[in-house]
Amino acid sequence: MSEKAQNQRGRYHHGELRPALIEASFGLLAESGLAGFSVAQVARRLGVSTAAPYRHFPDRDHLMAAVATQAAVELAEEFGRAVADAGSDPAERFVVTAGAYVRFVGTRGAGFDVIFAAGLERLQNAALTDAGRHLMDLLWELAEQATGQDQETCLTLVGQHLVAAHGYVTLYAGGFFHRQETIDEIADLAMAASRTLLRGTPTG
């Protein structure tokens, strides 16, 4: 067990295991990604039995849904802060969400691959559905303000915007970038890609 995982032991009080499991899940995702995520690994990080999480979550997908919901809420907050700091230019207010996404996923480990993970829709989790919809609505509104285009065009732009940002942070996590050593440099690359996408999108 890593030193970081050992330090997490005992950081919750009786009755607070549920939020501790969610927070430990973020740590595991940041280190191992979605492919390495398991309830047993989360339990080990907290120093509890592998059966303990199932008193709060019936299975892996229910724990993942709780993590995804929190990730969506936190990411929306990060977008809001970035947009507030970006000034009044509609294009730049959209662009900065790419940088915010890269920084968030680079530190928390949970991006759209977690928020909209395959299989979670079967749970019909209202909190996750609402959080995901709010996140997408926020991005769509920013795209609409930046371009003045119709819904279909804006949704296409948002998709391209997210794919670029997610691709940059995923490649960064995998060690692809050797010259860019910081997450801020990768965030700048993602924002540059978003500006290029905007230049190719007609304005209304």
Its domain, for residue 105, covers 67-199
pLDDT of residue 34: 86
Provide the number of structural domains found in the chain: 2
36: nearest Cα among 60, 10, 17, 58: 60
Cα(82)–Cα(181) distance, rounded to whole angstroms?
Answer: 22
Asked if 132 and 85 sit in the same domain, the reply is: yes
Q: 16, 31, 55 — which closes off a domain? A: 55
For residue 178, is it within any domain? yes
pLDDT of residue 3: 37
Asked if 109 and 180 sit in the same domain, the reply is: yes
Asked if 79 and 50 sit in the same domain, the reply is: no
pLDDT of residue 9: 46
Asked if 157 and 107 sit in the same domain, the reply is: yes
Asked if 14 and 109 sit in the same domain, the reply is: no
Cα(116)–Cα(75) distance, rounded to whole angstroms?
Answer: 13
For residue 62, is it within any domain? no
Asked if 108 and 74 sit in the same domain, the reply is: yes
If one counts every other C-beta atom within 10 angstroms of the C-beta of residue 55, the result is 12
Asked if 159 and 75 sit in the same domain, the reply is: yes
68: nearest Cα among 2, 37, 36, 113: 113
Asked if 50 and 81 sit in the same domain, the reply is: no
User: Residue 80's Cα: distance from chain center in Å?
Assistant: 14
Task: Write the pLDDT tens digit of every residue in 111-164.
Answer: 999 999 988 989 999 999 999 999 999 999 999 999 999 999 999 999 999 999
**CATH number of the domain encompassing residue 25:** 1.10.10
pLDDT of residue 201: 83
What pTM, to 2 d.p., does this model score?
A: 0.88
pLDDT of residue 11: 53
Residue 171 one-letter amino acid: L
User: Would you call 84 helix, strand, or coil by DSSP?
Assistant: helix
Write out the H or E segment, with its range, that includes residue 4.
Answer: helix 3-8
92 contact partners, CB below 8 Å, separation of at least 6: 86
Asked if 99 and 189 sit in the same domain, the reply is: yes
CB 53 within 8 A of CB 37: no
pLDDT along the chain (204 residues), means of 10: 42 74 94 89 93 93 96 97 96 98 95 92 93 96 96 95 96 82 92 95 75
Asked if 12 and 85 sit in the same domain, the reply is: no
Asked if 8 and 79 sit in the same domain, the reply is: no
For residue 176, is it within any domain? yes
For residue 85, is it within any domain? yes
Asked if 77 and 49 sit in the same domain, the reply is: no
pLDDT of residue 203: 75
* Cα dihedral: 58, 59, 60, 64 (round 10): -40
User: Please, what is the Cα angle at 100 between 134 and 68, to 5 degrees?
Assistant: 45
Considering all CA atoms of the chain, what is the largest pairwise distance in Å, rounded to the nearest integer? Answer: 58
What token pair was written down for 123? 């749970």
**CATH number of the domain encompassing residue 104:** 1.10.357.10
